């Protein structure tokens, strides 16, 4: 019964229920635009070699922690969705100010424990169908008509060498 409910929720675009600051809230299902925004932030993470020793893991984590403020922004983007990242403040039909909702929510997320962040990320990513997005990317790469093709010609009457 669980798989049927999951499929129905996905098809009907029902919001995801997650626990945030000891309350259950509903967040929109991630869209392609949301995935693109998250990908932009993930690309800014520093690269480092992973070592298996506990002391090395702690040292590596602390050395790159200053660059990991993006984790809170990624969670905020996933919670808000692409279309609700910004809110326009309009008076008499004119846009007065554009409010960045991601920064405000990211500041709240930074006060969560690592366990709460982990649970939130797992809840959101488990509801995403990442395989669908990956499948689309792979199929689009496969039908890319702009790829350079090579062809070999053989002399008339000579069989071609197929390897």
What does the DSSP assignment read for 96-130? EEEEEHHHHHHHHHTTS-HHHHHHHHHHHHHHS-H
> In this predicted structure, what is the pLDDT of residue 147?
60
pLDDT category at 1 given cuts 50, 70, 90 is low
Each residue's pLDDT tens digit, 6-50: 666 666 677 888 888 888 888 888 877 888 888 888 888 777 666
Q: Which pair of structure tokens corresponds to residue 2?
A: 């669980």
Rounded to an integer, the average pLDDT of 116-130 is 80
Residue length, the chain?
163
Q: What is the DSSP letter of 67?
A: G
Write out the DSSP string of 27-41: EPPP-HHHHHHHHHH
pLDDT-above-70 percentage for the chain: 70
pLDDT category at 119 given cuts 50, 70, 90 is confident
Q: Identify whether the C-beta of residue 127 lies closer than 8 Å to the C-beta of residue 79.
A: no
Each residue's pLDDT tens digit, 133-145: 677 777 777 776 5
How many angstroms separate the Cα of 55 from the Cα of each of 10, 48, 49?
Answer: 42, 15, 14
Q: Identify whether the C-beta of residue 46 lies closer than 8 Å to the C-beta of residue 67.
A: yes
> In this predicted structure, what is the pLDDT of residue 158?
62
> In this predicted structure, what is the pLDDT of residue 154?
60
């Amino acid at each position: 019964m669980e798989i049927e409910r999951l499929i129905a929720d996905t098809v009907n675009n029902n919001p995801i229920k997650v626990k945030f600051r000891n309350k259950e809230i509903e967040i929109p299902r991630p869209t392609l635009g949301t995935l693109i925004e998250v990908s932009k932030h993930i690309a800014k993470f520093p690269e480092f070699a992973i070592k298996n020793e506990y002391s090395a893991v702690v040292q590596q984590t602390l050395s790159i922690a200053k660059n990991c403020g993006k984790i809170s922004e990624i969670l905020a983007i996933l919670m808000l969705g692409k279309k609700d990242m910004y809110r326009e403040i309009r008076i008499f039909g004119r846009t007065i100010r554009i409010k960045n909702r991601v920064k405000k929510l990211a500041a709240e997320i930074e006060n969560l424990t690592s366990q709460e962040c982990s649970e939130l990320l797992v809840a959101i990513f488990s509801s995403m169908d990442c395989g669908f997005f990956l499948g689309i990317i792979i199929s689009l790469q496969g039908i890319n008509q702009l790829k350079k093709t090579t062809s070999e010609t053989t002399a008339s009457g000579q069989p071609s060498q197929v390897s």
